Amino acid sequence: MARRVAQHRIFDLAATLLLIAVVTTLRSSLLPHSDEAIDNVATPLGQWLQFTEERIPILSVIIWALSLVVAGLNVGRYGIRLSLYPAYTLMAIPVFGVVAAAIMCSNDYLLTTVAVTIILLATKYIMRCIMRSGSYGDLSLSMLYFGLLPLIYAPTAIFYVALPIITLVARSSWRDWVVTLSSLALPIAAVCYWSWCAGEEFLKPAQEVYTAFLTQSEFHFFSIINPATIILLGILIVMILCSISLIFSDKYSLKVKSRVVMRFNTLMFALLIGLFFAPSASATLFALLAVPTAILVPLMFVRMGVGFTETLYRLMLLAAAANTLLMCW
């Protein structure tokens, strides 16, 4: 009997993630594509991470590889602990690795590591808030992390506008909206206060975030396109569309709270895709996009046919390997 991909042992999937982390990190650090080597636009806190990486470049690469493995394992763990899916699956683990590092991998390793960690924690707490009947503590923690991210990575400044809207869509209570707004604003308010205490203008950090968001980077996604990239992106798009169609059309595919979590991650996925058109976009976006993608895609593996999902999974890994090889030239 064919074994379902969704039921692969954690050892197999963890080994796949580890292989992806090692190979893609070696490739991007030794033979980086020109767009991977572009520095992220400086932000109030991001510039300190970039300064630190200049002092410890090799250690930063190692930290990124380790964080890729840890983050991937945690995404898979969250799905199991929160019972998001109708059946046991850890397919979030390899999907995270492929999206975060096998398409394109930013050479701003330390900044990308911190940004991924922050969005992962933010997503963890918002999912826990939804699944555990609306804990305002979890919602506040989630929005604190989301509010911290624009101080590190410029394109995510749009979160200050978009997340209150997404919260209203996912959770309609006005109390949720108040908690969202106040928690989102707290990190940048704290940095502004620190700036003022240091003798600078109070709003200087907020102005720096706004300016960084509008600063044109030299990143051009389509410059890396090769046949393997097109195939890999096509496979991932099919996986995402299958999962989203199950969320909105199959009422038996998810429990009520799990469906709310999936809708939130669908909106986050769409928002992060939109950020590729932001002036300050960079390869770091792929690592951030990996979080909602890895949460959405496993639904397809537990609700659709074995032959179809097995084929897509194997094609995804083959396309990721081919893309990594072709990126060396």
Give the other-Cβ count within 10 Å of 249's Cβ: 8
- Is there a domain that residue 197 lies in? no
Let me know: does 189 contact 1? Beta carbons within 8 Å.
Answer: no
Is the Cβ–Cβ distance between 184 and 163 less than 8 Å? yes
Residue 153 placed within a domain? no
CA distances from 86 to 80, 96, 197, 252, 263 (A): 10, 20, 52, 9, 16
In our burial notation (b when 16+ CB lie closer than 10 A, e otherwise), range 163-180 reads bbebbeebbeeeebeebb
95 in a structural domain: yes
Domain membership of residue 143 (yes or no) is: no
The HSE-up count of residue 94 (CA atoms within 13 Å, CB side) is 25
CA gap 253, 249 in Å, rounded: 9
Residue 164 lies in a domain: no
Angle 205-208-214 (CA atoms, 0-180°, nearest 5)? 150
Cα 325 to Cα 219, 248, 310: the distances in Å are 21, 37, 23
| Number of domain units in the chain | 1
- Cα 59 from Cα 236, distance rounded (Å): 31
Q: What is the pTM of this model?
A: 0.93
Q: Mind listing the pLDDT tens digit of every residue in the chain (329 residues)? A: 334 555 557 888 999 999 999 999 999 999 998 888 888 999 999 999 999 999 999 999 999 999 999 999 999 999 999 989 988 889 999 999 999 999 999 999 999 999 999 999 999 999 998 887 667 889 899 999 999 999 999 999 999 999 988 877 766 677 888 888 999 999 999 999 999 998 888 999 999 999 999 999 888 877 777 899 999 999 999 999 999 999 988 777 788 889 989 999 999 999 999 999 999 999 999 999 999 999 999 999 998 888 899 999 999 999 999 999 998 87
Residue 163 lies in a domain: no
The residue range of the domain holding 291 is 5-131+211-326
CA distance 70 to 258: 24
- Residue 274 CB neighbours (<10 A): 13
Q: What is the secondary structure of 240-288 as a DSSP string?
A: HHHHHHHHHH-TTSS-HHHHHHHHHHHHHHHHHHHGGGSTT--THHHHH
In a domain, 194, yes or no: no
227 falls within a domain: yes
